[in-house]
Structure 1
Amino acid sequence: MNLGELMQRAQAWQAQGQLEAAAALYQAWLGFAGHAPLHRAVAGFNWGTVLGALRRPEQALQAYEQALALKPDFAQALLNQAHQYEHLGRSDEALATWARVYDGIEHLDSIGGEALDLQLHALNNSARLLEQLRRYDESETLMARSLMLKATQGDVIQHYVHIRQKQCEWPVYKPVGAVTENQLLTYTSLLAMLSASDDPALQLLTSQRFVFEKVSKYEGKPYHRQHGPAQREGRFRIGYLSGDLCMHAVGLLTAELYGLHDRQRFEVIAYEWSREDGTPLRERIKAGFDRRVALQGLDDEAAARRIAQDGVDVLVDLQGLTSGARPGILVHRPAPIQVGYLGLPATSALPGVDWILADRYVMQPDYLKYCSEKPIYLSTCYQVSDRQREMGAPPTRAQYQLPEGAFVFASFNNNHKVSEAMFGAWLRILQRVPNSVLWLLADNRWSEANLKAAAAAAGIEAQRLIFAPRVAPPDYLARFALADLVLDTFPYNAGTTASDCLWAGAPILTLSGRSYISRMCGSLLTAVGLPDLITENLADYERLAVQIGRNPARAASYKRYLREQGRSSALFDIPAIVRDIERQFAHLATQARAGLPLQAL
């Protein structure tokens, strides 16, 4: 059998899903001597590709090594060899191998491929892995190099914009090569757009572009009708769909939610692909469900069919379009009622997600036309949280290098949420409040350096910016006691962080805008009973921060209020919020079971 016949037969097996047979065929063919070295190298490469598809990285790596022993300049084999190194956790070897391709493409044999495409593949995968490794400066450099070679790479532009946000590289929208500022804006990811703009129309367009380009289309009969029970009876079934039911912001907020559902009326099921991180939080979350269905081994269509067969009445999507989400499940409509909640505090524009849990503060009437989902309004606050979150031992100022007697402004939001305009406001606040410091999250060394440089340019002494390292959740909660006033970010408000600081007894000053995400903190402040800490423009935000900073007794009164009444407020009456959610879900599910048009209360 010659190489052409081998490949034709193996590809036929692969097309039928018979990967084991294809791998065995390549292995057997390579066991015979007499084939030309180039043909053996190509066959070895194909064998490695099949083994990679079978998720056998060690065997795939050996196949690529055999191919490269026969043809050391085989560019595609080097690319795939690097992928197997990555799968095996050998990141440095993966990066070094990709570098051989992008730095030496002119010395390699592309064997029928386009040299530029292979070079871009190496650059882009190196940049992706470096970003995952939090080596942001190296990642950005390779992204820029890739875009200099080919400007029309939307996915690369998307990551380039966001990695600049992560490093507080301002202006974020800095053209590179032939990439225009318009292209940078067009290909901004939704997460990055939520930090960049409070314009709900831009947020909607960003979601729509993502759905159009990335989400599979399905226009057939809804799966809940195709595969679901003909008659739904008994307890209402709520399914929670997520890969974040672990040590993640969503997991931290919802840990108590699942166990609080009324089991006489509701069955609660997790449909998940969350990582087993070994934390007590993960175990608590798992214990809150009646049962859990792991979706890791199912494709989107099979997962949707499984959910439909289970007769789920309400499917709550906790991820939207965030990292690791599986929107392809939702487009099949496995449940008659599909609701977005918490993971994406914005419109997803996803076909099949018809509802979003909200309150009348975060979703005002003018916002509705920019939202593809209809609101399910909760009566107090949209956000559940965890009353069992563990608080660490009270720290001292000395532990965090905070000066005694200084007024401490703080912000522990992720650095990508810190905009140039808001940081400028914080610096002006420091200028107007003597003996004050700004306590920030030490997210990464590049953002820290850039923030320090911006402060120095504004005439702020270096010692007035203090960076707090990441610590375990109990210690993170405990250190809020050292803050006099927490400063919220805009337009991407604090969500989990706002809940944490109010639970820990620290007041937070926010700026509310037009979009859901820019009104989250205002919703929490309203529910906790501190609406006077909500502002609606940057000038008022600065003015109020300065007033409080110059009057420490006022900050102390807010802290006293939170200490005495905060945890008994509507914000932390989690059982009441859960009953409110259940009331809405039961109302919609009753309508759906009766075949009536759906309308929220």
Structure 2
Amino acid sequence: MLRRLLRQLAFRRNAVSPAGEPKPARGSYERVLAEAARLHRSHDYPALATYCRRCLASRGDEPDLLTFLASALAGQGKVAEATDALQRALALRPEAGEARLWLARLLVRDGRVEAAAEAYQQALARPAVAEVAGTELAGLLNRLGRYDEAEACARGFPDSRIAKRELAKSWFEQGRVDETVALLRSLVAVTDADPGVHSDLLRALNYTDRLSPEEIFQEHRAWATRHADIIEPQPRGLDNERSPERRLRVGFVSPHFRKHAVTFFLESVLDQFERERIEVVLYSDAARHDEYSARLRAIAALWRETRGLDDEEMAALIRRDVVDILIDLSGHTPGNRLLVFARRPAPLQMTWNGYPNTTGMRAMGYRITDPCCDPPGETEHLHTERLVRLPAVYMSWHAPRDAPEPTPLPCARTGQVTFASFNACYKLTATTLDLWRRILDRTPASRLLLIAVPSGTAQQRVRSTLERAGIASSRLDFRGRVEHETFLDLHAQADIALDPYPYHGTTTTCFSLWLGVPVVTLAGRSHVSRVGATLLTHAGLPGLVARDGEDYVRIACELAADARRLADIRAGLRPTMAASPLTDGAACARALQGAWRSLWRDWCTTQR
């Protein structure tokens, strides 16, 4: 509604008479709207709000003025007041599709998601905005975990690339990885493919059991060749002082500086750096902030809000900040800023912790890992980056303060061993489900608890696969997306956690170990399928790392048959983990500082 109104006012303002003179505004109301439009174009939102309120007080409710008022209030971050103004405008002009679409967006910003979904549904009935409303509604439903509804909504717009991307997200979350990959390939095949969509494809490929690590590496190189390696670095030289022993400014880039898996690992390290040697800068692309954000911000020497900056602007900001070492915490996950790194705004650039694979980029110089996740001499050919192996484990995990104490062994109370999976259903590949079927076959009195498998299509896929293989439905206990507290509490029902393959758990494994639940994992050939190996090795359980599928099944079944061993593990896991490198943020910080200093000295030497 506002866009159309501005276009109409611009047309009238620019119209000319036969004599070549501008036509005068027709009537006082048009003059009022013209002034509101001028204030809107100047982004003087406080003045616009004051002006609109004054006019509304004298003229009564007018839908156009209420729309301008909503714009002014939204521009000042007063989302609830903006929503109220827009609803008043729609009560006077209910047929306005653009306004209803804008209302839905404001309701999303205000956290009123059910009302937003209803507004989107109403906008769908307006042909002019139906496709935009439909694709945005599909996106909202995906974020709410209502994947079957999101799929149905996205299918209504088969010619829309945006709708197809949302459809791919729905399928991925339902565990339909092969279909997701095929759809994303079709989107990437077009000439002007979005780098973000291409990154979606790479992320999905990490979860498939149909490609080799070498094939997945070539896919990453294809992304970089197409989107990143063609970008020229910004022309101005770097201003970093070439002094090998001075204090280093280290920048971290992430859209997840809030309660998120990345933060669970980052927080334990950030406040352990020697502040006289390392200065931390956090570049936050987060859409919202919380108490975790506040804690990270308090640790950082400098906090930069970068959401809304394009890649060129963000790279220029990093250059002005004279960052020495810039660290990516996202890889090819949604919201990444890899094309900032492609512009080489810092002398040393590396990726760490947020993505279990190469970026494929030549501008990304290093990847931080450890000798277990990436055994020396075995995975270098799968990376464009030089691998920097920390001495013990590549990261440190910070146990949340709300984690409960480990509970007694469940099978001692129930008489039935409960295997459990706490991983998202897109990790539950055909290989994984077949391994679990074999375990359940050999332990006929056991059951399988599956957390984070959404109701509907996702649960039906897993259930039907296992039922066809002979596993009775009564042995399967599904839970959908649950709140964090419930997720933690459900560990009280688990005797043994089963790691998926090829994409291991990371945060989920750390939680399981902290809550006393041993995890059985199958080690593969690349980082994504070796994380479980490094976690279990450093938690004192290397015997739970399998060499192959048969070994995986044997370990799980033998463990299930030994209640005394299970009880001993459960009682000792937390103190063992607390004393291990997995939770030693200070040791990880020292290892990182040492690696960075060595690399910095090398860079200074090459610049002379």
> TM-score, normalised to structure 1's length?
0.78
Corresponding residue for 2:255? 243
Q: CA deviation at 1:251?
A: 0.9
Note if 1:424 corresponds to 2:426. Answer: no
RMSD (Å), alpha carbons:
4.5
Alignment of 1:116-515 (within 5 A): 118-147=129-158, 150=159, 153=161, 155-168=162-175, 172-173=178-179, 183=186, 189-197=201-209, 199-204=212-217, 207=220, 218-221=231-234, 225-226=237-238, 228=240, 234-274=246-286, 278-279=290-291, 281-296=292-307, 298-350=309-361, 352-364=363-375, 365-386=377-398, 391-395=403-407, 404-446=414-456, 447-467=458-478, 480=491, 483-515=494-526
Whole-angstrom distance in 1 between the partners of 2:434 and 2:168: 20
User: Is the 2:224–2:361 Cα contact (8 Å) retained in structure 1?
Assistant: yes
Is the CA contact 1:509–1:541 (under 8 Å) kept in the aligned structure 2?
A: yes
Number of the residue aligned with 2:588 = 577
In 2, distance between residues paired with 1:242 and 1:59?
A: 30
Question: Displacement of 1:97 after TM fit?
Answer: 4.2
Distance 2:412 2:480 in 1: 13
Letter in 1 for 2:447: V
Distance 1:319 1:171, change over 3 A: closer
Which residues in structure 2 correspond to 1:519-538 (within 5 Å)? 519-538=530-549
Write the distance in 1 (CA, Å) between the matches of 2:382 and 2:105: 41
Query: Take 1:42 and 1:575, find their aligned partners in 2: how far apart are those partners?
Result: 59
Query: What is the CA–CA distance in structure 2 between the aligned matches of 1:549 and 1:50, rounded to whole Å?
Result: 63
Aligned pair count reads 564
Contact 1:510 1:521 in 2 (8 A): yes
Residues 123 and 142, structure 1, Cα contact 8 Å, conserved in 2:
yes
Structure 2: distance between partners of 1:456 and 1:357: 42
Deviations 1:458-517 (A, max 9, x none): 443344223467777677557646533210011211111222323333321112223321
State the 1:128 CA deviation: 0.6
Are residues 496 and 65 of structure 1, via their aligned partners in 2, closer, same or farther at CA, if it must alter by over 3 Å?
same
* 3-state secondary structure, aligned to 1:427: helix
Q: Secondary structure at the match of 2:596?
A: helix
- Answer yes or no: is the 8 Å Cα contact 2:344–2:363 preserved in 1: yes
User: Separation in 2 of the partners of 1:214 and 1:122?
Assistant: 29
Counterparts in 2 of 1:396 and 1:552: CA distance versus 1, 3 Å: closer
Structure 2 residue identity aligned to 1:335: A
Deviations 1:42-90 (A, max 9, x none): 99999988987787766598579759967x6565555445434433444
Question: What are the within-5 Å matches in structure 2 for residues 82-97 of structure 1?
Answer: 82-97=104-119
- Alignment gaps of 5+ in structure 2: 1-7, 16-21, 23-33, 56-61, 190-197
How far residue 341 of structure 1 moved from its aligned partner, in angstroms, is 0.9
Greater displacement, 346-355 / 426-435: 346-355
Cα contact 1:250–1:343 (8 A) shared by 2: yes
> Structure 2: how far apart are the matches of 1:502 and 1:395?
12
TM, length-normalised to structure 2: 0.77
- Quote the Cα distance in structure 1 between the aligned partners of 2:219 and 2:542: 31
Residue 26 of structure 2 is matched in structure 1 by none
CA contact (8 A) 2:281 2:304 kept: yes
Give the letter aligned to residue 145 of structure 1: G
**8 Å contact kept, 1:241–1:317:** yes
Q: Give 5+ residue unaligned stretches, structure 1.
A: 32-39, 111-117
Given residue 212 of structure 2, which amino acid in structure 1 is its aligned partner?
Answer: D
Shift of 1:201: 4.3
CA contact (8 A) 1:394 1:479 kept: no
Larger deviation, residues 438-447 vs 76-85:
76-85
Structure 1 residue 540 and structure 2 residue 551: aligned? Answer: yes
3-state SS of paired residue (1:269): strand
- TM-aligned CA deviation for residue 535 of structure 1: 2.4
Aligned equivalents of 1:289 and 1:567: distance in 2?
A: 25
Deviations 1:254-284 (A, max 9, x none): 22101111234222332324466544x5554
Alpha-carbon separation, structure 2, partners of 1:42 and 1:369 = 61
Structure 1 residue 302: Cα displacement: 4.0
Contact kept in structure 1, 2:177 and 2:207, CA below 8 Å = no
Structure-2 separation of matches of 1:366 and 1:130: 42
Change (3 A) 1:88 1:272: closer
Cα distance between partner residues in 2 of 1:217 and 1:67: 48
Q: C-alpha offsets along residues 343-391 of structure 1, whole Å, 9 cap, x if unaligned?
A: 1121223463221101233234453333232211112221211267554
Which letter does structure 2 place at the counterpart of 1:433?
Answer: T
